[in-house]
Amino acid sequence: MSSKPSLVESINPTGEPSIDMKARLGEVDASMRQPAMLFLVSAVFWLLAGSAFAIMAAIKSTNPDFLGLSEWLTFGRVRTAHLNAMIFGWGNNVIFAVAPWIMGRLCKARIRHTNILLAAGIFWNIAVTVGIFGILRGDMVGVEWLEMPAYITPLVIITYALIGVWVVIAFRWRQSEHVYVSQWYILAAFFWLPWLYTIAQIMLIFEPATGVVQSLTNWWFAHNVLGLWLTPIAIATAYYLIPKVLGRPIHSYYLSVVGFWALALFYNWAGVHHLIGGPVPAWVISAGTVASVMMVIPVIVTAINHHLTVVGSHKDGWASPTIRFVMFGAINYTVVSLFGSAMALRHVNEVTHFTHFTVGHAHHGVYAFFTMIMFGAVYYMMPRLLFREWRNPFLIRVHWWMCGLGILLMVISLQIGGWIQGLEMNALDADGVPVHTFIQVVENTKPWLWLRSLSGLMLLVGHIAFAINVFWMIFSPKTEGQVTQPTLLTPTTEET
């Protein structure tokens, strides 16, 4: 390389030609080390902060006087701080660590000028911190999933652009002949989110649309953050890690193509099912319901691909922390999506709409599916970035059992409680008079909300165990050369 490389040369992600193709993975890892660790550490902090907000909000939902004197910590703000800390603090930070890294590895492309990614990381965390501070102090915007005040919008857009560019560069100058399914999903997600965000900000905040067009835009955006951002990234991660760890190819290439385009086509339209029965054009609702049901196609296709790849390797999978978490997520993707399709049917929606059932469903998707897969990715990624092994398998077990059982308890309690709530809210006696007063309905949800608080505490314990392990690993000496195999939770087939 010349002493003063041109711009194109300086961003060229191609590895040193003298290095063997396989060894270039190490090059990619090395290039991503700093930015990925910045994002990961931030993600873990936000996970803990988000859990703390969650516990406060959960207790307040049964005991409204808890911290009741504080304006900053009133339920509406704490709950929203929780959502934003989890989605944009934990979720986006962990995605910014995992997705460019997987993209780089699959493209055999180094990430150059990582100080730009570092700058993006700093911008992003400033944006989320200021945004959540703004929510707590009362600058909250009354649009679900876009509550962070408008003064952070420029930072958000800059961050999305700075990170997205590296994903595109890695793909454009990829060194590998084959393009793997994970790469489509990541590439698509990094295009979708900035567009969604920009359009939603313009149509809802800067130049608000008239009347209920706002609500339609809101749910088009909010549901697509799940469907076109968290979901494709988590699917891509599962597609990458399952074959990688188990050492077997993905079940079917063609199914993965079908799955990708079906998701791209149908998920977009599904969001309006949040407005069923509302004052919006009936045909839009019908289209949303149809699309929600059509989502069964990509879900089943992805399920076949993920699950059939694991069949026969359960024992190895169970031994690996990565596969345990990823498979938990993959199974729950199937379950939560089928639930979601069912909830879009008008008669089911009549019961579940406006109840805690939907809250349970949201946690099922974002936590049991997305977050669990991201945990799996971190368990795989950190040892390779830091040349250190996980310090304590016991803490991994605590994390696994607390989070696995905790989220199941949360989803089950909220969905049973929510279903009862919906039935009681709608129940009429023979004279057309509601059977239960509203306060009775509220009282009957309380035991379920208590169970939800308990499950939240379990998740918090799991998160603390995870955080301890992460920081213990960061602050311990390299174990390269001493450790010959990855941390396993049970003996694998070969040893027995």
Partner 1 sequence: MKSLPLIFLGVFFTLAFSWTGIVLTSHLQMKDLTPVTAELVDKDDKPVGGGNFLVNGVTIKNTDGMTAYPLRPVGEAQRGKEIYEQMGCLYCHSQQVRRKGFGADFERGWGNRQSVARDYIEQDRVMLGTMRTGPDLTNVGLRYPELWQYQHIYNPQITSTGSTMPPYPFLFEVQTINELTGPSVEALELPANYHPGPGFEVIPTQRAKDLVSYLMSLNQDYELPEIKFTEE
Restricting to residues 120-179, name those near partner 1 by CB under 8 A.
Answer: 138-144, 168, 171-172, 178-179
Backbone phi, psi, residue 390, to 5°: -60, 135
Q: Which of residues 452-471 bind partner 1 (CB under 8 A)?
A: none
Q: Phi-psi bin for 108: left (phi > 0), alpha (psi -120 to 50), beta?
A: left
Six-digit token pair at 12? 């060229």
Binding mask 94-123 for partner 1 (x = CB under 8 A): ------------------------------
Binding mask 332-371 for partner 1 (x = CB under 8 A): --------------x---x--xxxx-xx------------
The residues, ordered by sequence, that sit 6+ positions from 20 with a Cβ below 8 Å of its Cβ are none
Do the beta carbons of residue 189 and residue 228 sit within 8 Å? yes
The binder of partner 1 chosen from 311, 427, 476, 490 (CB under 8 A): 427
Residues linked to residue 483 through DSSP beta bridges, in sequence order: 480
Which residue's CB is nearer to partner 1, number 351 or number 467? 351
Q: Is 447 in the site for partner 1 (CB under 8 A)?
A: no
- Minimal distance, residue 238 CB to partner 1, in Å: 19
- Minimal distance, residue 291 CB to partner 1, in Å: 8
Euclidean distance between CA atoms 73 and 345, whole angstroms: 36
Question: Sign of dihedral through CA atoms 410, 413, 416, 418?
Answer: negative
Q: Which of residues 178-217 bind partner 1 (CB under 8 A)?
A: 178-179, 184, 187-188, 191-192, 195-196, 199, 203, 208-217
Between the alpha carbon of residue 456 and those of residues 85, 126, 304, the distances in Å are 15, 27, 31
Which residue's CB is nearer to partner 1, number 79 or number 391? 79
Nearest by Cα to 189 from 240, 229, 236: 229
Euclidean distance between CA atoms 368 and 407, whole angstroms: 6
Q: Is 277 in the site for partner 1 (CB under 8 A)?
A: yes
Torsion of CA 472, 476, 480, 482, to 10 degrees: -90
Euclidean distance between CA atoms 248 and 242, whole angstroms: 8
Nearest by Cα to 218 from 239, 234, 242, 202: 202
Which residue's CB is nearer to partner 1, number 361 or number 463? 361
Q: Is 257 in the site for partner 1 (CB under 8 A)?
A: yes
- Minimal distance, residue 206 CB to partner 1, in Å: 12
Nearest by Cα to 395 from 489, 491, 492, 483: 489
Q: Of 17-25, 102-110, 369-377, 439-447, which segment contacts partner 1 by CB under 8 A?
A: 439-447
- Minimal distance, residue 92 CB to partner 1, in Å: 19
- Minimal distance, residue 432 CB to partner 1, in Å: 6
- Minimal distance, residue 200 CB to partner 1, in Å: 10
Which residue's CB is nearer to partner 1, number 16 or number 443? 443
Nearest by Cα to 227 from 136, 282, 309, 302: 302
Which residue's CB is nearer to partner 1, number 171 or number 390? 171
Q: Which residue type does 262 have?
A: A
- Minimal distance, residue 256 CB to partner 1, in Å: 9
Q: Which of residues 55-74 bind partner 1 (CB under 8 A)?
A: 60-62, 64-65, 68-71, 74
Do the beta carbons of residue 120 and residue 97 sit within 8 Å? no
Euclidean distance between CA atoms 90 and 189, whole angstroms: 17
- Minimal distance, residue 276 CB to partner 1, in Å: 9
Q: Which of residues 287-326 bind partner 1 (CB under 8 A)?
A: 287-288
- Minimal distance, residue 447 CB to partner 1, in Å: 13
Which residue's CB is nearer to partner 1, number 285 or number 326? 285
The binder of partner 1 chosen from 4, 433, 482, 495 (CB under 8 A): 433
